[in-house]
Amino acid sequence: MDPIKGLRNRTVFIVGSKKNAGKTTFLNYALNRLRGSAPLGALSVGVDGEAQDQVFGNPKPQVRAEKGDLLLCAESALKTADLHYEVLNVYPFTTAIGRPVLLRALRPGRAEISGPENNEQLAGILADMRRHGAGTVFVDGAVDRITQVAAGGKAAFVYVARVEPDNLDSSAAAIKLLWSASSVPLCRAGEKLPEPVFIVDGALTPGRLPGKEVKRGTLVIEDLTKIFLNWQQWQDLRGRFELRFAAKPDLAAFVVNLCNVTRQDFEKKLGVPALADRIIYNPYAVAR
Amino acid sequence: MMDKFRAFAEFETFYALYKPLTPYGRRAREERRWYADAAALKAEHDLAAALGAFAAAGRHKADKLRFHLRNIPAVELTAAALDGAPGLFLARKFLFNAAEIFKLLPAPLRAKFGARWNSDALLALLNKGGTGEAFHIADAYDPELAAGRAAIAACDKALKGLREKKLKALRERWGLDFSDRDFLVVEEKAAAKFNGAPELFVEPFDGGHVTVKPVYGPEYMECAAERDRLRGREAELESAAVKRLAAAVLEARKDIEAYAAAVERIDVAAERARLAAELKLTRPAIRKFPAPLALTKARFLPLEERLAAAGLKYTPLTATFGRRVSVIYGSNMGGKTVALKTLAFCQLLAQSGFFAPAAAFETCLFDGAAFMGGTEMETAGGLSSFGLEMNDFAAAHARLKGERLLLVMDEFARTTNSEEAVALLSAILEDLGDRPSACALLATHFSGLAAGKNAAAYKMRGFDTAAFNEYFSGRSACGLDEKLKMINKFMRYELLERAGDGEARDAIKIAGILGVAKGIVRRAQDFMEDKK
């Protein structure tokens, strides 16, 4: 199945391996691919100060809206937006670049999207967008905002990575780890789990792992975005413990933008043939 | 001073339930107003009572009121805040919901809240920008806008047509499919054939690839430039319309500020009425100072809730403190502190504009309230707990020169030796009795206080030994929960008036229930007998 079409009517978090991984470029691509039914929604979380899309060297892309699309923009950004819109809500919290404004495009145009500063605000805005008819809603950025929304059951995330020779090893390891983590089941209420059960709230770092003397048991991790281990540490952990996630958004796809790295070299580095099927390589590349 | 009093009365557990729905009501909540003026407090209680009656008369209208209150935004009445569609959206949303709220209330109630609507024309003007929740700078605000926007739409249509035509041509000629993509990444070798093609813009991507973008041609560029020009003019017209609308809103500033003040009063009163209904609060009777403080079946809500959660019985407090100085004696765990907390809680609610959790609560108004005691774990600025208590008392005592104060003292001076504590307390009570602006309640273990002619003594009824012996014979309590249940079951949390010096004699029994060895308990009883 086309992984992009599988995002329809879901809340999709587009998270990047690092700044300028190509998230907003992918967002515009996905918006184009999903047009045709319910209005689409888009917002971002945080202001990252990126002036340019470093993957393709373009000025930082604004989001292209069609008539009916719902966008969240900072009040200050509206003055320079090429957009005719109606205001649906103005939120009572102020971000560094002004109050967030929920708007509906009244004709095609472009605007820079913005977002709230915490999970409670994000949940309220997402609910507002749905109330105003949004089908698929994209959230640009914000790997740490997934957990709360994942509880709603319709969340998915797309991981966008820019892979270059300098970060080939670390990028492959990060994707492998996410792939491996995505197979860890969700912790079910009343489930009988091997004792002792360790619950890790927040980031799972090497320092927070149970000591070496603990050979077995269950480790419950908040969600897969909270894993801050290298591949080897993760493998060790899987060997010692039964693992569960407290929340688990669906990992919909990996988008890998290869730059001076061939697909063969990257897949060799991954060493997981099954994973290759879940990767969308350079969505803008012309297939040979 | 008030902070300690509030903390003692666990006021925040109640205040957390108080959730006004508008930004104006929430701002009032943060002020934590204390009403010492009888007329002002009466007005607050009257408004809460009036909205309570309104809500009781019809649930549908009460729900609608809450809906519109919840939708009231904060409106900022400055030129900068109104310089755009978002600011005007908020002004319209505020006016729309305020108008609906005012319409819901009967005329006499509107008058009570000072809700006088005077902005039909302004709301009609803003309503040209949308129906329902949405607002935009509509064509109706300038005849030129409609024509300009039609021209932009024509440009958009033409641009779309030219783009589709170009993309079709590129697909057919070069096999490049730009559907859904603004650009393509192509292998450098394969892209060599594009060199010199005027309809493609090629630039390096990485060592082996280039990005390719369509070049749409002069006709497209001219149309895009015309669209930019039209968009620029549209922005000018929108800006002028925004300025006119902002001026109209600012002209009504006084009216809008009056609506905001009325909305705040309605919101606060509606929330107080909701709490009164949900928590079964009753309107306190406010008497002229000094007046007896009379509680009938008063409930200290935080404890009532905790006991209910633990499956324990809660006994409401009925008491009348007829003199300005009252001393409450009682056994350990006998309810002295809870009696003080109940009074402090009711007084705080009453003077904060709420109704009180009691079948009846008669009181008078104080300029302030202070709590002293229970500080054995605290130190401040190097002061011991005794030092801290004395410091608090000295500060409150100094204020008695110009203010009417309610002083609540729980086990005051308990951390010093009993002989000096009794002397000190006696002197303090005598002094407070002679000060007409003081109303003091003291709970203590110490017996033999010389409280002065103006003081009244009370005693917590204490442990029901007969009932306990009948029930307890042959049984033993296990675990702290069961022991606490046992004490709860047989402790009589009632306040008895005029109980002499009211010496407490339950400590040894309580120690026994809580697990102190039987031998020690027996020996302690022997010592008591010897002393007699």
Closest chain A residue by Cα to residue B138: A86
pLDDT of residue A147: 54
CB-based contact (8 Å) between B211 and chain A? yes
Least confident of B18-27, B78-87, B498-507: B498-507
CA–CA distance from A24 to each of A6, A117, A155, B348 (Å)? Answer: 19, 19, 18, 55
Could you give the CA distance from residue B127 to residue B119 in angstroms, rounded to a whole number? 12
Which one is predicted more confidently, B403 or B532? B403
Of A75, A260, A283, the CB nearest to B207: A260
pLDDT of residue B25: 98
Please tell me whether the overall predicted TM-score, pTM, comes out greater than 0.90 for this model: no
Average pLDDT on A121-141 reads 90
Closest chain A residue by Cα to residue B175: A286
Question: Is residue B516 pLDDT above 80, yes or no?
Answer: no
Average pLDDT on B212-225 reads 94
Q: Kindly calculate the radius of gyration of chain B based on its CA atoms and give it in whole angstroms.
A: 37
pLDDT of residue B474: 54
Strands B317-321 and B293-298: antiparallel
Average pLDDT on B478-487 reads 67
CA distance B391 to chain A (A): 42
Question: Which residues in chain A have their CB less than 8 angstroms from residue B206's CB?
Answer: 259-260
Strands A218-221 and A197-200: parallel
Average pLDDT on A228-252 reads 87
Question: Is residue B465 pLDDT above 70, yes or no?
Answer: no
**Using 50, 70 and 90 to split pLDDT, how confident is the model at B411?**
confident
Least confident of A57-66, A124-133, B188-197, B215-224: A57-66
Question: Is residue B468 pLDDT above 70, yes or no?
Answer: no
Could you give the CA distance from residue A149 to residue B345 in angstroms, rounded to a whole number? 40
Q: Which distant-in-sequence residues (6+ apart) come within 8 Å of B350 by Cβ?
A: B41, B284, B286, B356, B361, B363
Which one is predicted more confidently, A214 or B165? B165
Whether B86 sits inside 8 A of A90 (CB atoms) is yes
Average pLDDT on B33-40 reads 96
Question: Is residue B96 pLDDT above 90, yes or no?
Answer: yes
pLDDT of residue A49: 41
The percent of residues in chain A predicted with pLDDT above 70, rounded, is 88
Could you give the CA distance from residue B375 to residue B378 in angstroms, rounded to a whole number? 5
**In A73-167, which residue ranges form alpha helices assigned H by DSSP?**
75-78, 119-131, 146-150
Question: Is residue B186 pLDDT above 60, yes or no?
Answer: yes
CA–CA distance from B393 to each of B1, B266, B398, B408 (Å)? Answer: 10, 39, 8, 10
**What are the residue boundaries of the structural domains of chain B, listed by start?**
19-119+252-278, 143-240, 285-479+492-504
Q: Give φ, ψ of B373 to 5 degrees.
A: 125, 180
Question: Is residue A52 pLDDT above 50, yes or no?
Answer: no
Least confident of B56-65, B129-138, B331-340, B362-371: B331-340
Query: In the CATH hierarchy, which fold is given to the domain comprising A5-174+249-281?
Result: Rossmann fold (3.40.50)
pLDDT of residue A153: 55
Q: Give φ, ψ of A138 to 5 degrees.
A: -100, 135
pLDDT of residue B353: 97
Whether A79 sits inside 8 A of B152 (CB atoms) is no
**Using 50, 70 and 90 to split pLDDT, how confident is the model at B92?**
very high
pLDDT of residue B389: 81
**In sequence order, what DSSP letters do the residues of B286-330 get, joined into one string?**
EEPSS--EEEEEE--HHHHHHHHHHT-----EEEEE-SSEEEEE-
Question: Is residue B334 pLDDT above 50, yes or no?
Answer: yes
Which one is predicted more confidently, B480 or B405? B405
Question: Is residue A77 pLDDT above 90, yes or no?
Answer: no
The percent of residues in chain B predicted with pLDDT above 70, rounded, is 89
CA distance B249 to chain A (A): 18
Could you give the CA distance from residue B18 to residue B21 in angstroms, rounded to a whole number? 10
CB-based contact (8 Å) between A127 and chain B? no
Could you give the CA distance from residue A176 to residue B12 in angstroms, rounded to a whole number? 50
Whether B185 sits inside 8 A of A285 (CB atoms) is yes
Question: Is residue A115 pLDDT above 70, yes or no?
Answer: yes
Question: Which residues in chain A have their CB less than 8 angstroms from residue B203's CB?
Answer: 57
**Using 50, 70 and 90 to split pLDDT, how confident is the model at A276?**
confident
**Using 50, 70 and 90 to split pLDDT, how confident is the model at B213?**
very high
Query: Hey, how many other C-beta atoms are within 10 angstroms of the C-beta on B437?
Result: 17
Could you give the CA distance from residue B142 to residue B148 in angstroms, rounded to a whole number? 10
Query: Hey, how many other C-beta atoms are within 10 angstroms of the C-beta on B304?
Result: 17
Could you give the CA distance from residue A101 to residue A43 in angstroms, rounded to a whole number? 10
**Using 50, 70 and 90 to split pLDDT, how confident is the model at A46?**
low
Under DSSP, the state recorded for A142 is: -
Q: Kindly calculate the radius of gyration of chain A based on its CA atoms and give it in whole angstroms.
A: 20
Average pLDDT on A99-114 reads 93
Could you give the CA distance from residue A103 to residue A73 in angstroms, rounded to a whole number? 8
**Using 50, 70 and 90 to split pLDDT, how confident is the model at B13?**
very high
The percent of residues in chain A predicted with pLDDT above 90, rounded, is 24
| Contacts by residues B217-223 (CB-CB < 8 Å, ≥ 24 positions apart) | B217/B162, B217/B166, B219/B162, B220/B159, B220/B162, B220/B163, B220/B166, B223/B155, B223/B158, B223/B159, B223/B162
Question: Is residue B50 pLDDT above 50, yes or no?
Answer: yes
CA distance B172 to chain A (A): 15
**In sequence order, what DSSP letters do the residues of A144-199 get, joined into one string?**
GGHHHHHTTS-EEEEEEEEE-GGGHHHHHHHHHHHHHHTTSPBPPTT---PSSEEE
- SS3 state of residue B387: helix
Could you give the CA distance from residue B180 to residue B170 in angstroms, rounded to a whole number? 14
Question: Which residues in chain A have their CB less than 8 angstroms from residue B23's CB?
Answer: 92
Closest chain A residue by Cα to residue B160: A108
Could you give the CA distance from residue A259 to residue A115 in angstroms, rounded to a whole number? 30
- SS3 state of residue B459: strand
Whether A57 sits inside 8 A of B203 (CB atoms) is yes
Average pLDDT on B274-278 reads 97
Q: Which of A9, A60, A72, A52 is nearest to A252 (CA)?
A: A9
Least confident of A152-166, B49-63, B66-80: A152-166
Question: Which residues in chain A have their CB less than 8 angstroms from residue B184's CB?
Answer: 284-286
ipTM of this complex: 0.83
Closest chain A residue by Cα to residue B185: A285
CATH superfamily of B285-479+492-504: P-loop containing nucleotide triphosphate hydrolases (3.40.50.300)
Question: Is residue A58 pLDDT above 80, yes or no?
Answer: no
Question: Is residue B143 pLDDT above 70, yes or no?
Answer: yes
Q: Give φ, ψ of A157 to 5 degrees.
A: -140, 150
Of A28, A90, A286, the CB nearest to B176: A286
Average pLDDT on B278-307 reads 94
Closest chain B residue by Cα to residue A102: B86
CB-based contact (8 Å) between B86 and chain A? yes
pLDDT of residue A55: 47
Question: Is residue A48 pLDDT above 50, yes or no?
Answer: no
pLDDT of residue B426: 86
Which residue type occupies A80?
Answer: T
pLDDT of residue A22: 82
Which one is predicted more confidently, B416 or A107? A107
Q: Which of A168, A173, A190, A165 is nearest to A227 (CA)?
A: A173
CB-based contact (8 Å) between B133 and chain A? yes
Question: Is residue A50 pLDDT above 50, yes or no?
Answer: no
Could you give the CA distance from residue A107 to residue A67 in angstroms, rounded to a whole number? 4
Contact between B263 and B72 under an 8 Å Cβ cutoff? The reply is yes
CB-based contact (8 Å) between B190 and chain A? yes
* CA atoms within 13 Å, Cβ hemisphere of A60: 13
CB-based contact (8 Å) between B95 and chain A? no
Structure-token pair, residue B34 = 């204390």
Question: Is residue B214 pLDDT above 70, yes or no?
Answer: yes
- SS3 state of residue A101: strand
Question: Which residues in chain A have their CB less than 8 angstroms from residue B134's CB?
Answer: 86-88, 104
pLDDT of residue B413: 75
Of B73, B86, B184, the CB nearest to A284: B184
Could you give the CA distance from residue B491 to residue B308 in angstroms, rounded to a whole number? 16
Question: Is residue B272 pLDDT above 90, yes or no?
Answer: yes
Question: Is residue B54 pLDDT above 80, yes or no?
Answer: yes
Could you give the CA distance from residue B320 to residue B291 in angstroms, rounded to a whole number? 10
Of B149, B182, B185, the CB nearest to A282: B185
Q: Give φ, ψ of B335 to 5 degrees.
A: 105, 10
Average pLDDT on A216-234 reads 86
CA–CA distance from A170 to each of A22, A234, B158 (Å)? Answer: 17, 14, 48
**Using 50, 70 and 90 to split pLDDT, how confident is the model at A142?**
low
pLDDT of residue B531: 64
Average pLDDT on B200-222 reads 91
**Using 50, 70 and 90 to split pLDDT, how confident is the model at B502?**
very low
Average pLDDT on A67-74 reads 94
Average pLDDT on B420-441 reads 88
Question: Is residue B524 pLDDT above 80, yes or no?
Answer: no
CA–CA distance from B437 to each of A165, B328, B334, B401, B403 (Å)? Answer: 82, 20, 30, 8, 6
CB-based contact (8 Å) between A92 and chain B? yes
Average pLDDT on B6-11 reads 95
Could you give the CA distance from residue B303 to residue A84 in angstroms, rounded to a whole number? 57
Question: Which residues in chain B have their CB less than 8 angstroms from residue A124's CB?
Answer: none
Which residue type occupies A287?
Answer: A
CB-based contact (8 Å) between A96 and chain B? no
Whether A284 sits inside 8 A of B86 (CB atoms) is no
Question: Is residue A277 pLDDT above 80, yes or no?
Answer: no
Of A32, A78, A286, the CB nearest to B186: A286
Whether B149 sits inside 8 A of A88 (CB atoms) is no
H or E stretch covering B77: none
* CA atoms within 13 Å, Cβ hemisphere of A134: 29
* CA atoms within 13 Å, Cβ hemisphere of A236: 12
**What are the residue boundaries of the structural domains of chain A, listed by start?**
5-174+249-281, 185-245
User: Is residue A210 reached through a cis peptide bond, with omega within 30 degrees of 0 on the bond before it?
Assistant: no
Of B86, B153, B187, the CB nearest to A99: B86
Give Cα B303 to chain centroid, integer Å: 20
* Average predicted confidence (pLDDT) for chain A: 83
The percent of residues in chain B predicted with pLDDT above 90, rounded, is 61
Whether A79 sits inside 8 A of B234 (CB atoms) is no
Contact between B173 and B152 under an 8 Å Cβ cutoff? The reply is no
* Average predicted confidence (pLDDT) for chain B: 88
Of B86, B156, B209, the CB nearest to A75: B86
Average pLDDT on A116-142 reads 87
**Using 50, 70 and 90 to split pLDDT, how confident is the model at B479?**
low
Which one is predicted more confidently, A106 or B391? A106
CB-based contact (8 Å) between B203 and chain A? yes
CB-based contact (8 Å) between B132 and chain A? no
For the ranges B15-29, B377-391, B394-408, B444-458, the one whose mean pLDDT is highest: B15-29
Question: Is residue B282 pLDDT above 70, yes or no?
Answer: yes
Angle at B228 between CA B225 and CA B233, to 5 degrees: 130
